[in-house]
Structure 1
Amino acid sequence: MSIEELCTHLTELHSKSLLSDNDTFLFDCDGVLWNFPQIFTGAIELLNYLTAEGKRLFFVTNNSTKTQDDYAKRFNDIGYNAKPEQIICTAWLTAQYLKSIKFAGKCYVVGMQSMKHELEREGITICGGIGADPLPPDANAVNTNKLEFDKDFLGAGSILSSIATASCRSPTILGKPHAPMFDAIRLAYPDVDPKRTVMIGDRVETDIAFGNRQGATTLLVFSGATSEKDLDTLKQQVEKHAIERDLLPNFCVKDVGQFLRFLESTRKSLP
C-alpha cells in the first residue's frame, strides 16, 4: 500500500468493509474507550454492536495498573459483558511470560499491586522491600511497555532506561508495539487471522505500529494521544523517510462513536 493510501478518513463504506472483512477487533482502552472515569460516547455501544455481529473482541493495553479481573469488572460495571480472557494487559502478560520461560527465581516488582497479584497467582515469589534482596547479575529484566512519559507522571520507559543503563542489561519488552501481546492471543486462539483483524488505538508509536507489524488493519482515533494535526505531521515525516511508515494507520476517525454511527448508518441503508 502506498503512503497516499494510508491515513484514509473513515467513511460509511469503509466501515461496512471493516465489519464484513474482519472477524477480530483489538481495542486499546485509555484514550480509545475512555479517559477514566469518563466513558467516551458510543464506546460501550460499539463493543456491544460488534459482539452482536459475531465479532471476537480483545482489549490490548500497556496499562499494568490493573489485573485481568479488574478490567473485566470495569467493563461489566459500565455495560459490556467482558470475560477476563479478553483482557490482554501487561500485568497478566508479564506473569505468563515468566511462566513460559520456567522462571524459578524471585521477582522484584517496580510497579503496582496488580503486577504483584498476577505474578503471585502464577506461583512466582515476590522480593521484599527496596534493598532487601540484592539482585544477581543474571537477573531477567522484563518491561511491560516503553512509554516514556504520560500526562501526569514518568512512564515505564523512563524508569526502564535508568535500570537498563545501571545494570548493563537489555530488557525484554512485552507491551505494544512488540509481538508478545499478539502472540498471547494466537496461543489461546490459533484461529485468529491477523489479516482479518482490526487494531483500534490512539497512539501511533504503540497501537498503530503494533497492528501494522502484526499484519492487521489499523484504525486511529483522534480521541486520545494523537491529533489530526499530529498525524499530518507524521505523514510528512514518513514521506521524507524520517520515520518508519508503520506508524501510519490504514484509517483514521474522530472517535469510536463516529465509527459506531457509520456502522449504524450502513445497517439502516440496507434493503
Structure 2
Amino acid sequence: MLEYIQTKEEREAFIDKYDNFLFDCDGVLWEGTNMFTGVPEAMNLLREKGKRVFFVTNNSTKSRSSFLKKFEGFGIKAELSEVFSSAFATAAYLKHVLNFPEDKKVYIVGMDGIKHELEAEGIRSCGGEEDSGITDNDPVPDDKEVGAVVIGLDTKVNYKKYSKAFAYLTRNPGCYFIVTNEDTTFPQHGDFYPGAGAIAAPIIAALGRRPDAVLGKPAQNMLEAIRAESHIDLKKTCMIGDRLDTDIEFGINGGVDTLCVLTGITTKEVLLSPENKVKSTYYIDAFGDLAK
C-alpha cells in the first residue's frame, strides 16, 4: 500500500526503519544550481542517526569528482565511494564486463563526465565536447580504432556527432552501442528538457535497433556495484527518487523499498492515478520535509 509520509511520527518511523538510503540527485536534492529547501538538514539528520547514504544518478554530464564538488558547494557531506553515476557505470561496464580492448577507443556523444570516467578506467576516447560546434557536412573518415559508441546527455549535440556515431556503428564490425541512460527528460530551470534518452533516439531510429546496453536506472548495474563494494542489506534499504520509470523501477527491480518525492518529474496526480502501474512504497512532498 502506498503510504503518504506527512506527520512527525511518520517521518521518524520511516527513517528508523532503514539503515541505507539510495538517492537520485536531480529532482530530489536539487534542480540545476538550485538546492531544494531542507536538503542539508535532512541529510545531516540521516548521518547523525548513523545511516549509510549513496547517490545513484543517471546524470552522465559530470564525473564522480565533479559531483563531489557540487555536493561540497551545497554543503552536503559526501565521499567518492558513495557516488554512483551512469557515466561511472558505463566505464566500469566497458572495462570489467566487456573487457574493452586496449587498442580500441570509444566515440562519445555526450559531455566530459563520460570522458573523465573512461580515463579513470584507462579507456581512450574521442568526440564528446571536442566535436561540439562542428557544422560541416563533410564525409566521415574511417576510424577502425573506434570499438564502441557511448551516448549520454549532450547539451551541445549536433548532426556531425550523430553522423560519426552512425558511421562507426555501421562500418566497424563488433562496435558496441551503449547508452548511459534512457531518461526522456530531466528537470531544469523550473521546467523539463530533453534527456539522454531523447539524445540517443535518432541513432536508435537510424540503426533500426536497440542499444547493446543501457547502463543507468532502472538497470541494476549501479545497485550491483553498491552491493559488491558496501555489502548493504537490501531489506534495510530504501531508494529515494522523483521518476517512476527509472528511480522507483530501479528500487522495485532491486528488491528494495522506495520513496517518491514530488519535487521533480512525477506529480501527485500521476503517482496516484489508477492507470499508473509503478507504485512506490511511500511518497512525500519533498525530501527536505524529513528534517521538519
- Which TM-score bucket, shorter chain as reference? 0.7 to 0.9
The worse-fitting range, judged by mean Cα deviation, of 97-106 and 125-134 is 125-134
- Which residue number in structure 1 is paired with residue 108 of structure 2? 109
Larger RCO, structures 1/2 (Cα 8 Å, 6+ apart): 1
- In structure 1, what is the Cα distance between the partners aligned to 2:253 and 2:51? 22
Q: What secondary structure sits across from 2:263 in the alignment?
A: coil
Do residues 185 (structure 1) and 189 (structure 2) align? no
Do residues 167 (structure 1) and 163 (structure 2) align? no
- In structure 2, what is the Cα distance between the partners aligned to 1:217 and 1:11? 20
Q: CA deviation at 1:169?
A: 4.2
Do residues 99 (structure 1) and 95 (structure 2) align? yes
Contact 1:32 1:202 in 2 (8 A): yes
Contact 1:88 1:181 in 2 (8 A): yes
Do residues 258 (structure 1) and 289 (structure 2) align? yes
The worse-fitting range, judged by mean Cα deviation, of 150-159 and 223-232 is 150-159
Of 189, 194, 197, 2:237 maps to 197
The worse-fitting range, judged by mean Cα deviation, of 52-61 and 134-143 is 134-143
Q: What secondary structure sits across from 2:283 in the alignment?
A: strand
Cα deviation code 1:76-104 (max 9, x no counterpart): 12212211111111111111111112111
Q: What secondary structure sits across from 2:91 in the alignment?
A: helix
Of 236, 248, 260, 2:279 maps to 248
Aligned partner of 2:84: which letter? I
Q: CA deviation at 1:249?
A: 0.9
- Which residue number in structure 1 is paired with residue 117 of structure 2? 118
- Which residue number in structure 2 is paired with residue 154 of structure 1? 194
- Which residue number in structure 1 is paired with residue 9 of structure 2? 13
Unpaired stretches in structure 2, ≥5 consecutive residues: 135-139, 144-166
1:79-94 matches, within 5 Å, as 79-94=75-90
Unpaired stretches in structure 1, ≥5 consecutive residues: 239-243, 262-271
Aligned partner of 1:17: which letter? A
Q: What secondary structure sits across from 1:109 in the alignment?
A: strand
| Structure with greater proportional strand content | 2
Contact 2:58 2:216 in 1 (8 A): yes
Q: CA deviation at 1:12?
A: 3.0
- In structure 1, what is the Cα distance between the partners aligned to 2:73 and 2:173? 45
* Identity %, equivalent residues: 40
- In structure 2, what is the Cα distance between the partners aligned to 1:123 and 1:168? 31
